[in-house]
Every structure is written in structure tokens, then in C-alpha cells.
Structure 1
Amino acid sequence: MRKEWDIPDEQEFWYTGSDWLQVLLDKHDLDMRVKILLLLWRSWFLRDDCVHHEGKESVSRSVCFLVRYEEEIRNLSMIDETKGKSSWSLFVSGATKPRDLPSAESSPLWDKPLIGEVKLNTDAAFLSETGQCWAGAVARDHQGRVLFSACRLMNACRTVEEAEGQAILLGIAALSAMYRGSLIIETDCALIVKELEEGSQNRSACFSTICDIRSTATFFNSVSAKAVKRNKNKLAHELAVRGRREGDSLIIADVPIGLRPLMLSESTM
């Protein structure tokens, strides 16, 4: 990793007490903090791959992944907001500002996955007049615990189906960096689910997106997709709406503060 990034000396990573990470991060600027957190995040993924899976993930592949990922974060942070795009912000749990809370009064109907599975919910906000679309994605385990949540302005799409496919692609790409087990994808777009079925001959306008989804899905032990009603996909929908309203975000192990009541109401069912 040091061949690609200028990162702190090895001694700075030594455990010196319960606040060693805070001390380490406090010594460096924001760019270095991002690199340190990404490095620790990926290291934990490699450890988890060895303990719970086959342990075949290579260090060199992780280096390439981190370099590309950090470049994407940096490049997106430089996008001019006057063009309608916001920065792709990397947050840790609790780093976002509270906003108006979505209503969670109606009975949440999100279904938890089985033990050993992770469920990825995705949705897109699409403007047919301009082709603009914003994707929302959230991954949770059998206890409703969040692995990550994300919202992002995507490339312009021609159809709502293409936008929904882009949302799935955003979700599985982010999830593949931290999890490789059994995955269930839920979306409220039945057409995309049909196109993803094994043996389906895709002739739609979102053919390239479907191919990218299928390619990325090979990182997981197993993948299934199913269409659900909007009331089973609320959190992903609210993330897409938030992306349009407030800009891009990627949060590890949490959701934006304003969406926590909805997330908690679903996970406690």
C-alpha cells in the first residue's frame, strides 16, 4: 500500500491505549484521515474473509481497490456544485447533520433476511424530463444492523428501469468491498428483477447496466433478486430522495441521522 499512498509510519499504528485511533487521526489532515480509515476498513474485510469465508482475497487486489475507491471519492469531491452535483462524502457513523424526519407511523413491512444472509435494498429517484437520477442503497443483516447506506447522483438515464438498475449497481459495488456471502437484492422495479433472471435474454435499453450487475454479483457466494412493494423498500427510497435533496453520501454501519427513526422502526420488528 505504501507504494501507492504516502501513509503514516508503522509505529503510528501501534496500539498505545483505547484512544490510539483518535490520536493517530488527530495528527493528520483530512485526506490522510480518509486513507487511514479506508485502509483499516479494508484490512477488517480481509480478516473477515479469512475467518468466515475462503480467505482467497489477495492483498494486491485490495490495493487496487483502495486506490480506485479513494480516487473516486477525491474526484467526486471536486465536482462543481453549480452543475447540480454534490460531493461524494465519506462518513463514519453519526457524522451527518439531522434533517426533518420521514414519517414512520405506518407499520414498517421490511422483512429481515435469514441468519447468514445480507439484504440489499435499492431505489432510484428519476426525472424523466432531464434523465437525472439519484440512487439510494442500504444493506442490513438478519438483525437489521446496517452494513452501509449510500445515496448518489448517477449518470443520466433514459428510462426509470435503467435508473433502478444503476441503483442496484451502486449498492452491490459498495457492498462487495466489505461482504462476500449470500446476498438478497430487493427493489420495487419488477422489470429489472425479470431482466436479472438467469437465462433471460436482455434486449432492453439498460442492457449494459444488467451486464455490469451480473458481473459484480459474481463477487458474492450467492445472489437472488426479488421485486417488492414500495412499503417494503422505504429506507432505500428515502435515501434516494435524500440524495436528490442534500447530495451524495456513503456511511458505514449507519444511516443518515434523519433516517434513523425509520431504520430503527424496521429493525425492531
Structure 2
Amino acid sequence: MRRKINLIKKLKDRNGNWVEDKADLPQHICAYFQQLFATEAVDMSDEVIQKVNPCVTQAMNDALCAPYTREEVKRALFSIGDLKAPEPDDWNDTTIVLILKVDNPEECCRLSEIWKNLGVHASISELCVDNTGMGVLETILKKQDVSFTHLPGVGLKEMIATACWYMWWERRKIAREEAVQTPARSAQAIAAIVTNYVRSVKNPKIRRHGWEKPREGFVKLNIDAAFNLETETGATGAVLRDNNGMFIAASSCGIAHVADASWAEARALRDGLILAGQTGCNQVLVNSDCMDVVETMNEGGRSSSPAAAVYEDCMF
């Protein structure tokens, strides 16, 4: 509806004649504004000028006439709202998005690669044939949900909604000239987020509580991990206490290359079990705040994630 209302079919020129040809309309509009903002020489006597009280100081005039800086251009462009880019029209078959990063773009390569890595590119391409913009998302949310074989319990709706949010977040980072991950890494991060979300929804009884003593004869192993998305690095930590709450041992380790947050949590479990073995603790109860780690170990350590090899080490 908005495109139909905003569509310009014809305009009058300075002589009152109609300009209707689509090829002539852009030239007519450009010529109009060039004429509108062009300077015109007007003779004015010095006597008249002297009677005008100046409002612009010399400092103000110098600032107005100064060359613009890169920072000023950046600030002006970044102040434009996210939704201000026009949609495709009859003159241009590609969407205009502020400053193009490549010449003659044909498709959103980064987004396409992420959709392909997530396994939903074909579904989205099919929907884009009859829909545009928000219509695609609306159609997806109304469709009957389908599940992914490689991500049990995750539906298409959850995947699309999470991916849209994540790519919007990355777009904001790009706008601020910050580094982002490769499309493959972004797809892994999206899959991890939506998987943890689905698991948390299916387990509403899970609750957070303080440290609890293990039963007699056992030691408690608390593990945790940190993951830096930008540098793809991480760290692990582990603490051992006996059934009286007394400290036994602790460890920490930095990791130079981390696949994703779930991989870091699995590595924390491995490091914690190694610590327990080094201190001679055989009866161990493990506490982890990562649902992926808990469920994988309860299922015998079987995993098809990037952390599969780490889980195998934990089953010794």
C-alpha cells in the first residue's frame, strides 16, 4: 500500500508540461533541485547592505565555511534511522542501504551464507518468491512448524526468529565498524543460542540455587567457562570441595581457539575431571550451569557438536 501511494507517475516542468516517461522523470527531479539550490547573482547597493545588522559572527562564518571532516560525515550517516532505507522501486531493482561496501551488489552474500549453514536457505528462498520484507517473516510464523534433524527439538520458527535477531545485532556491529565472525561461525552461534533456549523452555523445573554439600564420601566439582565471541578465545575454571565444604583444589586455563560457548563449557568439564584425577578424587559430583553439558553427559557423552571429541575425553 505504501509503495503504491508513494509512486510518482508524472510531474509538471517549469513550462507546465507533463513529464511522464520513466526515463525522463529522474533527470527532471535532479534538474529541479539543482536549480532550486543554485545561487543567483543579485545586485545590491552598499547602502542597503550597511543597514542590515549582521547575525552571523566571524567565528560562526569560519566554522560554516570550514572543510567537512570524516568524523562529521560518519556522524551524519550514522544518525539516519535503521528503517530509513527505501525499498526497491521501478527505477532501481536493488535495495539502497546507505553506503554500499561493494560495487554493483547482486545479493546479500553474508546473510545467504548464514542461512545456508543453518539449513534454511531453501525455505526462505521459496517464501521470497511471493513475499517481500516483513511478509516473509509473517508467512514463516504462520506456517506449520518443522524440526531440524541435526538440532532435535528446534523448530523453523525459533531458528528464524533467533537468526533475525542475531544478524540484526551483527549488522549494528558492522555499522560501528566493529569486527564480526565468519558466516559459518555466526551460524554456529545462532544454533547454540536457539538450542539452549528450546532446552530451557522444555525444562521449566530447573532452578538456580546456592552451593550444596555432596553426600558423604563424595567431592563436589564446580565448573564454568567464559567465551569471547569477537576474539574466539575462552577460559575455564574448576573448584573441588569435600562433603564438609572445605576447599581441596582449583584450576583455571586460558584457551586460544574456541569453537563456541558450548565447546568452552565442555572443555571446562574436561579440565575439572583432570583436576579431580590429579588430586586422587574418584567419587565426584559435577555441577555445571550449561544445559548442553548436563544433557550430553546424562546421555552417555554422545554428541554431534564441535565438542564431540571433548566429550569423548570426559568418558574415561
- TM-score in terms of structure 1 length: 0.38
Richer in strand (by share): 1
Question: Which structure has the larger Rg over C-alpha atoms?
Answer: 2
